[in-house]
Chains A and B, each alone.
Chain A
Amino acid sequence: MQIKEKLTKIVGAENVSDDPEVLLSYSKDCSLSAPRMPNYVARPKNTDEVHGVVRLANENGIPVVPASSGIHFYGNTIPNLGGIVLDLRRMNKILEVDLYNKMVRVEPGVTWGQLQSEAAKHKMMGLCPLLPHPLKSVLTSHLEREPMLIPKFEYAGSLVTMEAVLPEGEVFRTGSACVPGFPDKSMAEGVNPGGPGYLSYNWLIQGAQGTMGVVTWAKVKMAPRPKIDKTLFIPFESLEDAIQLVYNVQRRMIGEECLIINSVNLAAILTKKWPQDYNNLRRILTPWTVILVLGGGWRRPEEKIEYEEDGLREAAAELHIPALPTSLPGLPGIERELPGMLRTAWPEKKTYWKFADKGACQDVFFYTTLNRTPDFVQVMNQVAAENGYCIDDIGIYIQPMEYGRSCHFECSFPYNPDDTDEVAMIRNLYAEAAETAMDMGGYFSRPYGVVVDMVYDKAASYTTALKKVKQLLDPNNIMSPGRLCF
């Protein structure tokens, strides 16, 4: 029997394709990565079908590349060595809303919009990255360790347990979800990420870009949705001053969402009419804005906001910050609108904010500490200028993590994907910016594209150990071969 027939037997004829036109759409994404055609696309609807496809791939030595979202930004679902793309979008059920433990169990195809509207019904909210694309998978965001907007949570624990089909076809559950009878007939509720035993499979599978198995569901944390909010837009001419405020605020554990954003990104997010509003906003916004959402808790919400405002005023006074605006010039009512915007996906009907300016965008992102971000801004500007990129067009987003202990630093370079010269320039700029940031100590925890080799060359001992683990879990190297250092 041919592979296509075998796949058909597993997922049904309507869910298998080797049509070149269909395959073409899976061969490329929104990144600068080179396109590669898969041989087949299979669209399973449950764990059994995923299991069947992975086993088939193993028996025949065919690569399998899982893809959960309807859009991809980093090249990590492009089948570098061909094979089967496992499109998991049909697996889009919210399997469980666990209100006691403030968690939700989702399949890979669940999008941010879908999750957040369900969570809101229960007065909860998913821990959300900055304005994710409407087609973006919740599970992927957590698996890929995307930074979340609320720094008060310990970052390492947002994805709690999961079920994965391991590369050799075994269906395995991580942490306390491993108990028999989970979830309906067990005492355990799948909230402990560690184990089973002396290993933490959760950690080994996260950040793996589909190289360690196919995750078929995951239990992730939610947070109580504040009953009322107060949004502050604190303007700064210098990033150094913005950082000091964030340090002060986070040490006091004030607020929910907290981020630092430059005028380019803020304008792109808040523009309603392109291009006139965008240009106008870029002109009137200060170079940097700290966005801080104070959230009234489940009880006595007004009083909570009141003491947080007092704390914020005290934190600002220490730095001689004269005003704490709750609005932005030219955008009446945005303070009421923004918390809702930050707690869901980007609207489906609007062009994604990162693409609205020029049609495409290349991001360079890494972790650092807040006090080092001004140096990175300076260097990113320098590298951009040397490559002929207009530094006024660079978007910067700084996400404080874990009470300001560190931060996600993201530099966005919008570009015109139809201009081949510009694409070539961006390609070069991206590589140089990443290399320079790495030399300065920027930590690329999630390497993609050309950054992958730079990272694993530098992290030599880690690479050796990682290859050993991969060899044990995936001896035939069928899961996303050619990705990371595998």
Chain B
Amino acid sequence: MSIPREAYQTLQSIVGTEWVSDDPAICEADRYCSLSSPSEEKRRPGCSIEPVSTEEVQAIVKVANRYKLPFVVTSTYYSAGTYCRKDDSILIDLKRMNKLEIDEENLYAIVEPGVVFSALQADLFKRGLCTFVPGCGGHASVVANTVNMGDAPLGWRYGLGYQRLLGVEWVLPDGEMLKMGSLSMSKDYFWGEGPGPDLRGLLRGCAGHQSRMGIITKIGVKVFPFVSEELEPEGWAFRSFIKLPPNRFKWYNIRFYSREDAINAMFELGRCEIALVVMTVPPIFRGVARTRGVGCGGFWEFWKDAGPKLNPKQMDLRVLLYGIGSDKRLEYEEKVLLDIVKEYGGSPREAPCRDETNFMAADAICANVVGGRFSSEVSYESINQAVRYSKVVDKITDEHRPPILQEYNSTDWVCPYELGYIAKMECLRMASVEDNYALQEWKNDCQDACAKGGAYALVPDNKVFGPIWGNYPEKEDKIRAAFDPNHVSAPG
């Protein structure tokens, strides 16, 4: 099986012979264009193509439709789910589409899929603006991440990805163009909704469609005011950071001796509308951070000793205060924070005024550092759901331990956004490589408990949740069939 010769020649004529390849060696390498679980079967693409413009993307998608060839899109090879699931797929690699414009006055940027967060951030810093780097890293595509997930701890102040999405240029699965928001009527990207019903609702729900509804070729994305001082990175890989201006920023690590107190403090921080980042810090995250660079063995050696000493009831919060616009604001926020901490019996400790993860790099895939396999149960709902569901997950975990490894204290990360209107919860569990099946069983049990308890999970199993969540898979299928009549956009 291979891509028909005529189709391949047409693709060559669209992008030029140097930007398309069906060389088996290249295609074999491109088979692994995703970070998804090794257990998922990835097919070798029939060819790999690198367009440089929206027009070229449109032409490629039309060829895919004409010859009924599946296509899958990638831009940084760092996605969780976009890889070829069918033979003879066209892998459309968008890394050459890397144009970036910034409207400094009106706080938005226009980016193509090849623009990564670190490139955008570097340009924004020069203008006293910022975006924030998601957990998956500064090397992630701004377009892909914003459309698919788009969350990070700075979301406490700046919201989730779906709220940062403005005008969108979208090549639909049949090759037709869809322009949304203000872009639908002009060349401006400054506003995202409508006109009328907001078709960004087709673009992503709780998460994005991962190229199953065509290809986003350009978006307007919100950016935010930041300090005007130049922030130089220091150190090197695994130990790099930027120094934050101490008159404008202050980090606090706060230990609470019960989860309830920590959670109530979080709610109160939201009501008082202070801080730039508020999140829990599972002790195991600290362990990983402390043992960076020593490898998997070094981590477990450390953790076997440190873990049992943890108080299982404690919960640590990490809070970044930001004097947006003035030093006095920082002073005010600090006073309010310390009032709240005192009221809920926490112990505050000021942390170094630097940033390792939120603005520049990222704390991506920390779990990989500890070796073995990990799985996580993720939800985006209220802080209350995070707490309740986390207890359920803890109980299930105990039933699966061993082989699930001992964390000694909750590994559940609660990261609220939008001043507490919504929160992410991520329950991370680890097992040795040989016990991958145990993690799958754990995950299945979690999904069952989620369904029974009326929790809202990020990646629901359609068979379990479809019938109880308003038959949403049927609605998705209808929409996809209408927009992708040849079923070519990332099928499978």
Contacts and interface: CB of A to CB of B under 8 A. Distances in A.
A175 to B, nearest CB: 8
A221 B420 CA distance: 11
Contacts of B126: none
Interface residues of A, number: 97
B197 A196 contact: no
Interface string A271-311: 00000000000000000000000000111100110111011
A367 B190 contact: yes
Contacts of B451: 180
Contacts of A270: none
Contacts of B454: 179-182, 185-188
Indicate the size class of the contact surface on chain B: 35 or more
Interface in B190-242: 190-209, 212-213, 222, 224-225
Contact of B190 (A298, A369, A465, A484): A369
Contacts of A156: 162-163, 192-193
B57 to A, nearest CB: 15
B contact face: mostly helix, strand, loop, or mixed: mixed
Contact of A253 (B188, B225, B392): B225
Nearest to B105: A371
B182 A443 contact: yes
Interface in A198-232: 198-209, 211-212, 221, 224
B39 interface: no
A443 B200 contact: no
A358 interface: no
Interface string A356-390: 00000000000111110000000000000000000
A291 to B, nearest CB: 20
Interface in A418-461: 438, 441, 443-447, 455-456, 458-459, 461
A239 to B, nearest CB: 16
A324 to B, nearest CB: 16
A131 to B, nearest CB: 23
Contact of B178 (A100, A181, A461): A461
A96 B469 CA distance: 22
Contacts of A23: none
B332 A300 contact: yes
Nearest to A211: B197
B335 interface: yes
Interface in A68-122: 100-103
B379 to A, nearest CB: 8
A336 interface: no
A221 B272 CA distance: 15
A192 B455 contact: no
A410 interface: no
A200 B380 contact: no
Interface string B458-488: 0010100100111011011011001100000
Contacts of A157: 159, 163, 418, 421
Contacts of B188: 441, 443
B271 A224 contact: yes
Interface string A243-283: 00001000111100000000000000000000000000000
A351 to B, nearest CB: 32
A191 B382 contact: yes
Which 8 A-B pairs have CB atoms at the shortest separation, nearest pair first? A186-B454, A252-B325, A203-B201, A195-B205, A176-B456, A195-B206, A203-B198, A459-B184
5 contacts: A196-B205, A196-B469, A203-B201, A462-B179, A472-B479
Interface of B: 103, 105-108, 158-159, 162-164, 172, 176-182, 184-186, 188, 190-209, 212-213, 222, 224-225, 267, 270-274, 324-326, 328-329, 331-332, 335-336, 339-340, 380-385, 388-389, 392, 418, 420-422, 451, 453-456, 460, 462, 465, 468-470, 472-473, 475-476, 478-479, 482-483
Given A156-B192, A307-B331, 10 more contacts: A100-B382, A175-B206, A176-B380, A178-B469, A179-B455, A197-B476, A198-B205, A251-B225, A310-B328, A367-B191
